[in-house]
Chains A and B, each alone.
Chain A
Amino acid sequence: MELFVNVILLSFLLAIALAIVRMKDLFAVIMLAGIYGLLSASFFVVVDAVDVAITEAAVGAGVFTLLMLVATVMAGRYEQGARHKPLLALAVVFITGSLLIYGSLDMPAFGYGPAPDHQHVDSHYINESMSEVGVPNIVTAVLASYRGFDTLGELLVIFTAGVAVMALLSTLYDSHSNLGTGPENKWLYEQQMPIRLVVKILIPFIMLFAFYIQFHGDYGPGGGFQAGLILASAIILYAMLFGIRTAKQVISPRFYQCLSAFGILLYGGVGVVALLNGEHFLDYSVLFTDPLAGQHVGIVLVELGIGCTVFSTMILIFLNFYERKNNQLDGCQ
């Protein structure tokens, strides 16, 4: 049954991808991409990757779609028909694909237990993580403790991307950007009453869910990455429906900037504290008298750092895009 669902979901994904190739209306393409994200999240649930599924649902169906929509509003809705040498491209793609399929014939079949990739660290993580880290969710144990250094690097990449987006698009402190959001807001107030009411009721629950995922991530699926994304989408939803000015009055962009850096510093700080206590960087065992309790404290702190940075970086990226769009529209008038 699982295999059947798996086959169906993957076929849908393929059909959507082919439709994306053919469509010229980018608005429709982005909506399809949102469905694509949701379907791949469902696929991840079917193959037991629950943590990944939550992340993909928040990213693929949420943040990605929103960002793409804002960018498309600025860059133009329709794609031109002309393509570069489609036949040559098709030939390249076909040959590469055939070679890859030929290569895949040597792979172990899907779900094959004794496959080589399950033979190395995997069994150590599954059998020992409870006694070494003491956290039921193995994914969290690996993410925050065994591979903590790697995760720190990835968090830095996200932070850097956020800074780069700000460098490219920032209008947050232009005097110009404080002007013409009025008419848009008025339009919003009149037009979207039902949606605004529903969203106003939903937002507290979305936020509650995000906090649950943040602080329950070591026992169940979830963690800082997912919580940050979901919390960010709650705020973005609010900003979209109640106007960016209102959202900025609730929490100022300066706060997000500080929070974004604070997350990284918290993560790195936990590592430095471990270092000062005579252990390796990011070895949490020394944070508390009992090594297991130390690990737990370390993981909670590190996940909090991840959550802060991901949350505020996503919001900063969105705010910068949105402000740029408003400025552009003002410039046109």
Chain B
Amino acid sequence: MVVNKLGVAMDILMSAGLRIAGFYNYWVVISLMMTGFYIVISHGNLIKKIIGLSIFQTSVFIFYISMANVEGGSAPILNSEIVQYSNPLPHVLILTAIVVAIATTALALALVVRIKEAFGSVEEEEIQALVEKNKDAKAC
């Protein structure tokens, strides 16, 4: 009787575990996305902000690739011995997105470098203080 109950409990736990495992990717994606979002809105350092943005981007990549996965599937390269393939379309979208992301990140970094040269700082608050000071000086 006790063994039976234990077995039932184990079954429930196992199915709950599998259910959580089925959603685990999405939850990690959401956590990563929110981590990146937090860095972007709460940190003042512009380089750190760009790193936060790239974490955000990567979470979207992971989301798409997770959705492309099919259980028991294989990489989408045709072979007569394979019956089940993963979905190739998200792979294409993300592959190009990664390269576009690095190019746009480089552009953002170039802007940061120019900001550093112009203001002597990459901290948002210092830059804002400098801008305010310049405004006051002009008003006088």
Could you mark each residue 47-64 of chain B with 1 if its beta carbon is under 8 Å from any beta carbon of chain A, else 0? 110110011001001100
CB distance from A240 to the nearest CB of B (A): 16
Are B65 and A47 in contact, with the CB atoms below 8 A? yes
Are A26 and B47 in contact, with the CB atoms below 8 A? yes
Closest to B40 in A: A89
Those of A22-44 within 8 Å (CB) of chain B: 26, 29-30, 33, 36-37, 40, 43-44
Residues A139 and B92 in contact in the complex (CB < 8 Å), given A10-B25, A36-B58, A49-B68: yes
* B16 CB–A CB distance under 8 Å: no
* A172 CB–B CB distance under 8 Å: no
* A276 CB–B CB distance under 8 Å: no
Are B110 and A165 in contact, with the CB atoms below 8 A? yes
Are B65 and A86 in contact, with the CB atoms below 8 A? no
Are B76 and A48 in contact, with the CB atoms below 8 A? yes
Residues A165 and B102 in contact in the complex (CB < 8 Å), given A49-B65, A100-B33: no
Are A104 and B103 in contact, with the CB atoms below 8 A? no
Closest to A11 in B: B28
Partner of B77, one of A82, A138, A147, A165: A138
Are A67 and B105 in contact, with the CB atoms below 8 A? yes
Q: Is the interface of A mostly helix, strand, loop or mixed?
A: helix
Are B68 and A107 in contact, with the CB atoms below 8 A? no
* B98 CB–A CB distance under 8 Å: yes
* B11 CB–A CB distance under 8 Å: no
Residues of A within 8 A of B91 (CB): 49, 51-52, 139
Interface size class of B (residues with CB under 8 A): 35 or more
Are A20 and B103 in contact, with the CB atoms below 8 A? no
* A208 CB–B CB distance under 8 Å: no
- Count residues on chain A whose CB falls below 8 Å from chain B CBs: 104
Question: Interface-forming stretch among B1-9, B78-86, B132-140?
Answer: B78-86
Residues of A within 8 A of B72 (CB): 113
Which A residues form the contact surface with B (CB < 8 A)?
A: 3, 6-7, 10-11, 13-14, 17-18, 20-21, 26, 29-30, 33, 36-37, 40, 43-44, 47-52, 55-56, 59-60, 63-64, 67-68, 71-72, 74-76, 79-80, 82-86, 89-90, 92-94, 96-97, 100-101, 104-105, 107, 109-113, 115, 117-118, 121-122, 125-126, 129-130, 136-139, 142-143, 147, 150-151, 154, 157-158, 161-162, 164-165, 168-169, 219-221, 223, 225, 229, 310, 313-314, 317, 320-321, 324, 328
Chosen A-B contacts, 18 in total, with CB atoms closer than 8 Å, are A17-B36, A17-B55, A47-B65, A56-B98, A64-B54, A64-B102, A68-B109, A71-B112, A71-B113, A85-B42, A104-B26, A105-B23, A113-B73, A117-B67, A121-B89, A142-B92, A168-B107, A229-B99
Which B residues form the contact surface with A (CB < 8 A)?
A: 19, 21-28, 30-39, 41-48, 50-51, 54-55, 58, 61-62, 65-79, 84-92, 94-107, 109-114, 116-117, 121-125
